[in-house]
Amino acid sequence: MADFNSALPIRTELVGQVVYQDVITKLGDATNPATQQAEVDTFGSQFAVLRDAAGNAIGDQLLSASYWLQSVSPSNGPTAPGTAAGFSNLIGGQYNGTLPTLTTGEQAAVQVDANGRLWANVTNLPTTVDTNYGVVGASTLRSAAQIGNAAGAADFNFGAAGAQTLRVAALLGNASGVIDYNYGAVDAQTVRTASQIGNATGAADFNNGATDAQTLRVAANLAVSGANVTTSNPVPVTVVSSVPGTNIQDYHTSASLPAGSSVTFTYTVVAAHTFNLERVWSSASGKIKTLVQNNGSTIMVGFNSTANPNIDMTIVAPPTIAAGNTVTVTITNNDLVAFDVYATIEGNQN
């Protein structure tokens, strides 16, 4: 029968618009025609009998009054930075040089700037802000962040300053006003300091004796009569007694003192007083020797010459002589003839 080709007769009948056929046709898989056949539901539709690869029936979902086919997007892009997925959903944005103005019920694309950054309107900030460091108002910016640096939080220490101590260049002051740096009259605004001057070795000293690394120096040149002070241009110094009291000048003389003879002049300190011996002066027309004693103890001896007849003994460290004690000046004629001699004892008596 393989070479027999014929067609079976099929009866059709038209009833209204429906055609009834005598032959029912099935769709099947050519490899497994007995088990892999297409199905229809009671309505003659394949909608309700669609199945996935596992044989699970694909249902429907009522979204409104109509039936819709539900589809699953294959997008699987990562939420964290990573390799881009083959399918991803991206939010689109539109750049406009002038932002659009919408009214109620209208829709527009998300707005971005020329670099693709999303525009955002922070509506809880005031229209205007101020940075006033005086009176704080509703528009003054606040910050809850803690200031500091890599070493730690900032501090406001007015004592020892560390890496976190805040510095300011603004005017300092107190309730009375802006501070001043007046080195004259001191008032409530004058800056005080408790710091001690010094260097890396230690605190500074004001020693007028031995000088070390902490002794303060000055670079200004001292001058006398417009020239720097030198050994040939010294600073003039006047020695003044630092002890208040009565200046004493006790003068004595002896006429025709024979050659080889001596004469003694004595000053006795007044009761209830002390005497600071500062100077003894003696003179003669010939050669003499002058001996000075403090209450019997020799403290100075001087000689004159024909060229320098005066003997001036100024005492740098005046001795203090108690009440009732004496200062004596003994002059000896060392010449060959008699002549007059003179002496003056000077000092301060308290």
Domains of the chain (ranges, CATH numbers): 10-70 (no CATH), 246-349 (2.60.120.230)
pLDDT at 174: 66
pLDDT at 19: 58
Give me the residue label for tokens 């003054």. Answer: 140
pLDDT at 124: 66
pLDDT at 214: 80
Nearest-10 Cα torsion for 172, 174, 177, 179: -40
Rounded to a whole number of angstroms, the distance between the first and last alpha carbons of the chain is 171
310 Cβ contact partners less than 8 Å away, ≥ 6 residues apart: 281, 282, 283, 304
pLDDT at 53: 66
pLDDT < 50: residue spans in the chain? 1, 61-67
pLDDT at 319: 95
pLDDT at 4: 55
Contact 276, 323 (CB under 8 A): no
Strands (E), 96-203: 111-112, 148-149, 152-153, 173-174, 177-178, 198-199, 202-203
Q: Any bridge partners for residue 20, and if so which?
A: 13
Instruction: For residue 117, give the DSSP letter.
Output: P
Count of Cβ atoms closer than 10 Å to residue 153 Cβ: 9
Which has the closest alpha carbon to 347: 239, 247, 210, 235? 247
